[in-house]
């Protein structure tokens, strides 16, 4: 049996292509987006519309309130449950999204390290405030170049966690991660390639549509619920919040969101391009008729 994945950067056309693929595979879609689990963040996260979700059943969307924290381990547990549920009903699981870490957690498994050191974490956070995020990232590069290559220098939480693993396990994080349990089913991963120019145009159009749809009101309402640190990391939240606080004009907030989304998309592309298992599809005129759906890896 196969579990399928359709990945790619934000605004690359995954949703439209996923519907075609789901129909061909007789599949149900499992969201692979770290923010779509939150309720009340429909515009911010560009969730598939209710009309789309009526056509094809979707899983792992609108699970928890924004005040609650969510992590990759929680996601993997829920994703594995969804896979079994879908197979039991004679359907095929199709993961769709752009969260590379979540994809890897399902396909390759998670490393088990329950050891924590809160004092160590706080010390690293103080070092980051004093010397900058790059200081800790360079520290990780000296310890474990392989792990550092998979983490963005600005992702302080993941950098500190990697350093904590080295501190508590006395092993490089990349060594610890090798002791993982991969998905027991065959895997086929497709990547959506829309081309850089088309992607950036799509991003600009999406941001414009988000503002027309009421993203400002959504963030205003969301901010009153005191969202957790994970939900606050959603693209658009801090940009709109700055406008609501009077720090800059609405048009500036819009341009900031476009720019930050492009940067985010580039990081996603870099992540996925490093995975040789991905078969890239050109969404321009792609019919999927000639795509081999049964050649995958276990």
Q: Mean of the pLDDT values across residues 170-182? A: 81
Residue 63: pLDDT above 90?
A: yes
pLDDT of residue 287: 54
Whether residue 98 is found in the same domain as residue 205: yes
Whether residue 40 is found in the same domain as residue 71: yes
Whether residue 170 is found in the same domain as residue 260: no
Whether residue 233 is found in the same domain as residue 201: yes
pLDDT of residue 295: 55
- Is 298 part of a structural domain of the chain? no
Q: Mean of the pLDDT values across residues 214-235? A: 95
User: How much of the chain, in percent, has pLDDT values that exceed 90?
Assistant: 75
Whether residue 21 is found in the same domain as residue 46: yes
Instruction: Give the CA radius of gyration of the chain.
Output: 20
Confidence band of 292 (pLDDT split at 50, 70, 90):
low
pLDDT in tens, 258-287: 999 999 999 999 999 989 999 999 876 555
Whether residue 34 is found in the same domain as residue 151: no
What residue has token string 């005191």? 226
pLDDT of residue 289: 60
pLDDT of residue 188: 97
Q: What backbone torsions phi and psi does residue 91 show, to the nearest 5 degrees?
A: -105, 175
Whether residue 15 is found in the same domain as residue 160: no
Q: Tell me the C-alpha distance between 243 and 241, whole Å.
A: 5
294 against 109, higher pLDDT: 109
- Is 289 part of a structural domain of the chain? no
Does the CA dihedral 191-195-200-202 come out positive or negative?
negative
- Is 202 part of a structural domain of the chain? yes
Q: What is the DSSP string of 52-63?
A: HHHHS-EESSS-
- Is 295 part of a structural domain of the chain? no
Q: Mean of the pLDDT values across residues 238-242? A: 97
Q: How many domains does the chain have?
A: 2
Quote helix, strand, coil % in the chain, to nearest 5. Answer: 50, 10, 35
Q: Residue 14 sits in which domain range?
A: 2-109+184-282
- Burial track 231-262 (b if 16+ CB lie within 10 A, e otherwise): beebbbbebbbebeeeeeeeeebbebbbebbb
Whether residue 251 is found in the same domain as residue 125: no
Domain finish residue from 130, 149, 176: 176
* Residue 53 contacts residue 19 (beta carbons within 8 Å): no
| Residues in CB range of 6: below 8 A, 6 or more apart | 14, 17, 18, 21, 94, 95, 96, 190, 191, 192
- Is 238 part of a structural domain of the chain? yes
Whether residue 65 is found in the same domain as residue 196: yes
Among candidates 75, 63, 69, which has minimal Cα distance to 226? 69
Residue 25: pLDDT above 60?
A: yes
Domain containing 169 — which CATH number?
A: 1.10.20.140
Residue 73: C-alpha distances to residues 99, 144, 155 (Å) = 13, 22, 18
Q: Mean of the pLDDT values across residues 16-23? A: 94
Torsion angle (degrees, nearest 10) of CA 171, 174, 175, 177: 110
Q: Mean of the pLDDT values across residues 79-101? A: 97
Whether residue 94 is found in the same domain as residue 156: no
Confidence band of 176 (pLDDT split at 50, 70, 90):
confident
- Is 22 part of a structural domain of the chain? yes
Label the pairing between strands 2-7 and 186-193: parallel
Domain finish residue from 159, 176, 193: 176
- Is 290 part of a structural domain of the chain? no
- The pLDDT mean for the chain works out to 91
pLDDT of residue 298: 43
Interior angle at CA 57, CA 20 and CA 89, nearest 5 = 105
- Is 154 part of a structural domain of the chain? yes
Residue 293: pLDDT above 80?
A: no
pLDDT in tens, 111-170: 765 578 889 999 999 999 999 999 999 999 999 998 898 788 888 888 998 999 999 988
Whether residue 151 is found in the same domain as residue 13: no
Q: Tell me the C-alpha distance between 210 and 203, whole Å.
A: 10
* Residue 6 contacts residue 190 (beta carbons within 8 Å): yes
Among candidates 35, 37, 53, which has minimal Cα distance to 45? 35
Whether residue 7 is found in the same domain as residue 103: yes
Domain containing 249 — which CATH number?
A: 3.40.50.300
């Amino acid at each position: 049996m196969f579990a399928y994945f359709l990945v790619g950067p934000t605004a690359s056309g995954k949703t439209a292509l996923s519907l075609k693929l789901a129909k061909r595979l007789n599949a149900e879609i499992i969201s692979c987006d770290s923010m779509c689990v939150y309720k009340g963040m429909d515009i911010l996260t560009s969730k598939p519309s209710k009309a789309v979700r009526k056509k094809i059943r979707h899983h792992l969307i609108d699970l928890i309130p924004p005040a609650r924290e969510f992590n990759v381990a929680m996601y993997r547990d829920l994703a594995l449950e969804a896979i079994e549920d879908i197979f039991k009903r004679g359907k095929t699981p199709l993961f769709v999204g752009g969260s590379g870490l979540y994809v890897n957690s399902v396909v390759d498994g998670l490393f088990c390290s329950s050891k924590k050191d809160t004092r160590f974490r706080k010390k690293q956070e103080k070092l980051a405030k004093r010397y900058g995020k790059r200081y800790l990232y360079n520290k990780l590069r000296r310890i474990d170049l392989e792990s550092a290559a998979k983490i963005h220098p600005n992702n302080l939480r993941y950098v500190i966690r990697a350093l904590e693993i080295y501190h508590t396990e006395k092993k490089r994080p990349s060594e610890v991660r090798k002791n993982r349990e991969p998905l027991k089913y065959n895997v086929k991963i497709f990547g959506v390639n829309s081309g850089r120019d088309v992607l950036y145009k799509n991003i600009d159009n999406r941001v414009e549509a988000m503002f027309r749809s009421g993203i400002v009101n959504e963030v205003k309402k969301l901010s009153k619920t005191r969202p957790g640190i994970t939900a606050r990391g959603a693209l658009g939240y801090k940009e709109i919040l700055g406008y609501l606080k009077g720090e800059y004009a609405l048009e500036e907030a819009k341009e900031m969101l476009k720019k930050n989304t492009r940067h985010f998309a580039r990081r996603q592309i870099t992540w996925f391009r490093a995975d040789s298992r991905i078969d890239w599809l050109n969404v321009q005129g792609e019919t999927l008729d000639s795509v081999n759906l049964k050649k995958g890896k276990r």
